[in-house]
Amino acid sequence: MFSLARKPFRRTGSNFAMAIALATGTMVATAGIALPVYAKEKKNDKEPKADYSKGFVAAYTPVDKLSKAGDNEAAGAQLDGVVAAAVTDDDKNAAGGLVYNVGVGLDDTDLQRRGLKLMLDSGRLDQAKTGQFNYTSYQLAFQDNEYDVAREFLAAAIDADYSFSGRLTDGTTKTFAADDLRMMLADIYFDEEDFEGGLGYIRTQIANRVAAGQTPPHDWLMRARAKAYNNDLALPAIEFANEMVRYYPDTQNWRDAINIQRNLVLMDGPELLDLMRLGHRLGTLETDRDYLEYADSAEVIRAPGEVKRILDEGIAKGLVNRSEPAVSDVLKAANSSVDADKRDLPNLEKEAMAASASTKFATNAADAFLSYEQYEKAEALYQNALGRPDVDAALANMRLGIAQLSLGKLEDAKASFAKVTGQRRPVAALWTVYADQLAKESGTSAEAAAEAASEI
């Protein structure tokens, strides 16, 4: 397991709350049943016939007239009799429409919910109405803080593939389809502060999409990442940040994934160093803080060449001020050590490979070659260190994976990263995503080259 750190700052996240006009409070069209179907002239043998019972028609008709005349108080007083008279499914559907409309007229949400349930339970609604009425039922249940019930209705609306146009906070309108409704369902959990429930729901939706061979929507990943990060849930924040760069690997998303770990995971210098190395490869270093943290975690005594290389780059980009005492002092120390350090590398390698070398010495030698980007020698030295007793296996496997990845041995690198445990595990997971990305790019390039060759 690893330790968590309090965030020194929050990155402003997107505002996912959208003002959507409620679908409630709108009258529904009710069936005209003053003349029951059995008394009407048959117009089309293929049209399904409504089946209203005589007793229901007798109870329904006068109450419906009261409602249509605007006398909802009088109509409301007689609704129980109408519902009690409903025998057939069509009776129940018509009764539900009447109950709902009277509820709208009286601004009585209990009646509205009762009417919607009658219509939904009747089984006489088409798919469009089923989706609409389930969605309206979700809204009413949510207003009453009945979150479990609200989720059930919203899930049913999703199953019916319901969509609608809603007004956003900026006054524009947007069509909300099933994927948007899925995130509304997740938001019900979040509104209850059940973050594990909401994130678990999104996780399941992502898994379903991936299993179907599809890419998860960007909004789902961003929503989950922001909810986890803003509520100090380190493991889910890292998980969804990693998934974000897996499917949407742009520089900003990589920067976010790296910074989430910097802000949420308590790291010592050696652990932070491997994270900053990844950030550097991906071009995410963009501030003096980034460069100085990288240089500080590398330690000028241990890796003068790497420290010099990083600070020189930051200075060249105008991000690091050479005249700052802390920078100038470190650069001076690095410049005075690099040449001698490089000259000593052959002897260091020889001594580290000797059976008499200590495990710590063998690991430090591998670190030195990695810092000078001599990846073949670093790979061999880390493998040598891993065969010794009392080795820091997490560190050695982490950096062995970096060396192997740098040599293009992507599967070997992923196998090494998979062995990393403890505080370095989240960093190794992010390097694994990067290895997968490189493998995908390599495969795409190979396919393109093969296609081009076939056209020659």
Residue 420: inside a domain, yes or no?
yes
pLDDT of residue 119: 97
pLDDT of residue 266: 81
Residue 152: inside a domain, yes or no?
no
What is the rounded average pLDDT of the residues 276-304?
A: 96
Per-residue confidence band for 49, with pLDDT thresholds at 50, 70 and 90: confident
pLDDT at 14 over 60: no
Residue 393: inside a domain, yes or no?
yes
Residue 63: inside a domain, yes or no?
no
DSSP string, 143-184: HTT-HHHHHHHHHHHHHTT--EEEE-TTS-EEEE-HHHHHHH
What is the rounded average pLDDT of the residues 255-276?
A: 93
pLDDT of residue 447: 56
Sequence-distant contacts of 75-82: CB under 8 A, at least 24 apart: 75/102, 75/105, 76/102, 76/106, 76/108, 76/111, 79/111, 82/56
* % of the chain at pLDDT higher than 90: 82
pLDDT of residue 36: 36
What is the rounded average pLDDT of the residues 92-112?
A: 96
Residue 269: inside a domain, yes or no?
no
What element of type H or E holds 346?
Answer: helix 345-353
pLDDT of residue 454: 44
pLDDT of residue 27: 62
Residue 308: inside a domain, yes or no?
no
pLDDT at 15 over 50: no
CA dist 321 and 101 (Å) reads: 71
Return all residues near 141 (Cβ < 8 A) that are at least 6 apart.
113, 147, 149, 150, 153
Residue 417: inside a domain, yes or no?
yes
pLDDT of residue 201: 98
Domain of residue 383 covers 345-443
For the ranges 221-225, 268-272, 370-374, which has the lowest average pLDDT?
A: 268-272
pLDDT tens figures, 432-444 = 999 999 999 987 5
CA dist 92 and 83 (Å) reads: 7
**CATH number of residue 381's parent domain:** 1.25.40.10
pLDDT of residue 443: 76
Residue 383: inside a domain, yes or no?
yes
Return all residues near 372 (Cβ < 8 A) that are at least 6 apart.
305, 306, 342, 345
Per-residue confidence band for 451, with pLDDT thresholds at 50, 70 and 90: low
pLDDT tens figures, 295-332 = 999 999 999 999 999 999 999 999 999 999 999 999 99
The tally of domains found in the chain comes to 1
pLDDT at 379 over 80: yes
Q: If you average pLDDT over every residue of the chain, what do you get?
A: 89
pLDDT at 183 over 90: yes
pLDDT tens figures, 390-447 = 999 999 999 999 999 999 999 999 999 999 999 899 999 999 999 999 999 987 555 5
pLDDT at 260 over 80: yes
pLDDT of residue 444: 59
Does this model's pTM top 0.85? My answer is no
pLDDT of residue 263: 92
pLDDT at 75 over 80: yes
